Amino acid sequence: MLQLASTAYALVLIKKSGFFKPWLLIASAIALMTVRRIVSLIKMLQSGVFPPEALEPELIALLISVLMLAGLLLFSPAFEIIKRQRRQEATEKDYLLRESHHRVKNDLQILKSLINLQMNSHGVAAESAKLLKEIDLRIGSFLLLHEYMYRDGVDGVSFREYISRLAASIAAAFDDGKVALKVALSDTEVERKNLLYCGIILNEALTNAYKYAFGETETPSIIVSDRVEDGRHYLSIRDNGCGFEAAEHEKESSYGLSLIQGIAGNAGWEARIDGSDGTTVEVSFPAVASM
């Protein structure tokens, strides 16, 4: 009976510990010991003979069974202690990550404020002001991501919310109300690194569109959308502007497009930039596997 109880408790410890194979093997070994004892008992009952020399091994076996069950029972509080320690470590790690993001966010905010101060000061040339504005927007994409990480936790950043809010902030910086911006996004999970790359690409693509695409377009529009297909996540930024027909456009926007192509050079990333009918910037990267 003690061995049967030990077998049952070893199976219970599979759930408590989270380790399947070790406790299954231990439970199987104890179960086989139990079977051996039952077979020996049945043989003795059938023969009607209980040899005196068998008493000592039986007492030893009984002591082993008691010690085995006691040892298994002591494992349960040990696993509870380990779980508490892991929860405490996870809490401390989360706190340190939040503090890290908070400090980075503050540093970026200070840098952004200094750039804005310089951009709005007297004596800054128009071209320099444009450059500072673009740098300000790039920093803003990093700042926004760290704001979400600090607020929601490292794994709690919403792809839809981040990209939508970033698109809105870029539109507010450039748009005078004439460009129709449509954002149609899923809320599919995206890894942090890829989310940051998406923010950088969105910033460059929208900046180029607002600056260069709509000189002669009567009803300018931009569509930001995404989809998940064949294990890949696609992000698309499409406008109905002049495309790459104007040489000046292509020359002046080359930095942003080069940055997009540079990100697309990362492992698992691909980019397609089409300027034949408006401009379409589409990037793809491995989608997070569904659980």
Express each pLDDT in 74-94 by its tens digit. 666 766 777 778 778 777 776
Write the pLDDT tens digit of every residue in 160-172. Answer: 988 998 898 888 8
Helix axes 55-119, 126-152, angle to 10 degrees: 150
Band (251; pLDDT cuts 50, 70, 90): very low
User: Could you tell me which residue, 160 or 22, shows the higher pLDDT?
Assistant: 160
pLDDT on residue 71: 66
CB-based contacts of 144-152 (< 8 A; 24+ apart in sequence): 144/169, 144/199, 145/195, 145/196, 145/199, 146/101, 146/104, 146/105, 146/108, 147/105, 149/97, 149/98, 149/101, 149/192, 150/98, 150/101, 150/102, 150/105
pLDDT-based confidence at 141, cuts 50/70/90? confident
Q: In the predicted model, what is the mean pLDDT of residues 231-248?
A: 81
Looking at 3.40.50.2000, 3.30.565.10, 3.30.450.40, 3.30.360.10, the CATH number of the domain 178-291 comes to 3.30.565.10
Per DSSP, what are the bridge partners of residue 22? none
Domain ranges of the chain: 2-89, 178-291
Q: How far apart are CA 4 and CA 32, in angstroms?
A: 10
Q: What is the pLDDT of residues 55-67, one digit of tens each?
A: 666 667 666 667 6
